[in-house]
Amino acid sequence: MARFFKKLYSLQKETLDDDFPEDEKDKEGPNLGLKIITTLKHEKGVTIKATGFKHPNGNEVEGTLEPEIKLNKDVTLRGKIQTSNKYEATISLNDKLAVGSTLFATGKCEFGTTSKQSVEVGLDYLNKDYGSVNLKLMSPISFDYKDLEIYGAGTVYNKGFGLSAGVDAQMKPKGNDLSKANGYVQYDNSNLSFALFGKYDAKKRLRKAGLGYYQNVNANLKAGVEFSVDPQEFKNTAIRIGDNYKIDDLSSVKGRFSIYGRDQFRVGLVYKQNLSTHSKLTVSSDLNANLLLNQKSESKGHQYGVTLSFFD
């Protein structure tokens, strides 16, 4: 089945990235990251998701409220309110141009030492048999052409061979300035997924290229591996190996082993437990193996996280 560009490589990401401690550079630190997520749903089409997060840097707490209202089968309103004084509101219209299409408009505001207001309008279209298109126009509220940005993504799908290919790019029309560009070629069947990928930076330099493999080994075990190189910086070359093992109907464990450059090693572990029908506990770690062995290390220190989610 064809999918949107952001859904490509999702099985590999789920195995090697999801549930492990977050790695945003400005949020890292020696402390424990704590997150609480509550999702409330009403039969009338109203959903409210609330998230509280104490970042592991030890000095930043962030809260997010995300309401969603389905006015009818075609019209949806979404909002996002953050304690960091960032706000979003989106209206989307489904199947108005064609079946599988979504038209949307988003307004964004950010207040602080410098205030920013912007608007985004776009179109998403998915044909389940052939592919997808994502288009988005981003502009400050002043509509200054020099700050205008365009995002585009597309995928094509061959059902007979199980092959998907997709690219995306974001750029400023004025000056032809590229913000980012990514590409995937992917093969899928019922038990495995294999992909080749490349990622370019704003200077149009290849910063990450590699391959990822996912295998559904059996009913309880899933495994993935990723090999990537950075032609600009060898220390960013990486091999990551991970698995997801289902212990029983209520619990599972994930493991990950990573090698960066020639001699930087990390070991990750995640334990997930359903505490009740409506609550789940996730305990995660990403350890710097060099520090555990009292060796010199250039990478970040140990990272830990605890997430408690309700009605997820």
pLDDT over 70, % of the chain: 99
* pLDDT (tens digit per residue) in 247-271: 999 999 999 999 998 888 999 999 9
Label each residue of the chain as H, E or C. Answer: CCCCHHHCCHHHHHHHCCCCCCCCHHHCCCCEEEEEEEEEEECCCEEEEEEEEECCCCCCEEEEEEEEEECCCCEEEEEEEECCCEEEEEEEEECCCCCCEEEEEEEEEECCCCCEEEEEEEEEEEECCCEEEEEEEEEECCCCHHHCEEEEEEEEEECCCCEEEEEEEEEECHHHEEEEEEEEEEEECCCEEEEEEEEECCCCCEEEEEEEEEEECCCCEEEEEEEEECCCCHHHCEEEEEEEEECCCCEEEEEEEEEECCCEEEEEEEEEEEEECCEEEEEEEEEEHHHHCCCCCCCCCCEEEEEEEECC
Q: Which domains does the chain show, CATH number per domain?
A: 5-310 (2.40.160.10)
CA distance 210 to 182: 12
* pLDDT (tens digit per residue) in 283-312: 999 999 988 888 887 778 889 999 999 987
pLDDT at 26: 66
Nearest residue to 92 (alpha-carbon basis) of 67, 117, 75: 75
Query: Average pLDDT in the 137-157 region?
Result: 92
Beta-bridge partners for 307: 35, 282
Taking all residues of the chain, what is their mean pLDDT, rounded to a whole number? Answer: 92
For residue 166, name the pLDDT band (cuts at 50, 70, 90): very high
Query: Average pLDDT in the 199-206 region?
Result: 87
* pLDDT (tens digit per residue) in 101-143: 999 999 999 988 788 899 999 999 999 999 999 999 999 998 8
pTM check: above 0.85: yes
pLDDT at 204: 83
* Cα angle for residues 281, 264, 208 (degrees, 5° grid): 85
pLDDT at 296: 80
